[in-house]
């Protein structure tokens, strides 16, 4: 992992993009982290990264977790029964 000030990253952006293939590059402003440059290998990795930071998806996941905690969720057999019924 490399740590570099924003002014240096701005001046040598292409080099830092290449360097991110070796590991994350943490960008700092006034000594505090403000961004991270990450290498992305393919579209699936990019999609996963974007979804992981999607406020809407995180909201849906939190609501689902809360519902499962409150209701106890579905038994394994019931889940697959409903899944099979919905697939038709």
The domain limits of the chain are 2-37, 43-87
- Asked if 29 and 6 count as a contact pair (C-beta separation under 8 A), the reply is yes
Q: Rounded to whole angstroms, what are the CA distances from 35 to 1, 17, 32?
A: 13, 13, 9
Please provide residue 51's backbone torsions phi and psi, each rounded to the nearest 5 degrees: -65, -35
What's the rounded mean pLDDT across residues 48-70? 93
**pLDDT at 51 (0 to 100):** 94
- What's the topology of domain 2-37? YefM-like fold (3.40.1620)
pLDDT at 75 over 60: yes
Tokens linked to 21: 């293939």
Task: Give residue 59's pLDDT band: very low, low, confident or very high (50, 70, 90).
Answer: very high
User: pTM of the prediction?
Assistant: 0.65
The model's pLDDT over 15-38, given as tens digits with 9 standing for 90+, comes to 999 999 999 999 999 999 999 999
d(CA 69, CA 53) in angstroms, rounded, equals 23
């Amino acid at each position: 992992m490399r740590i570099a000030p924003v002014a240096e990253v701005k001046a040598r952006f292409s080099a830092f993009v290449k360097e991110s293939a070796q590991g994350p590059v943490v960008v700092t402003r006034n000594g505090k982290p403000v961004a991270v440059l990450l290498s992305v290998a393919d579209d699936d990795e990019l999609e996963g990264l974007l979804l992981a930071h999607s406020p809407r998806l995180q909201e849906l996941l939190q609501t689902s977790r809360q519902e499962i905690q409150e209701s106890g969720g579905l038994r394994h057999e019931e889940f697959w029964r409903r899944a099979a019924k919905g697939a038709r």
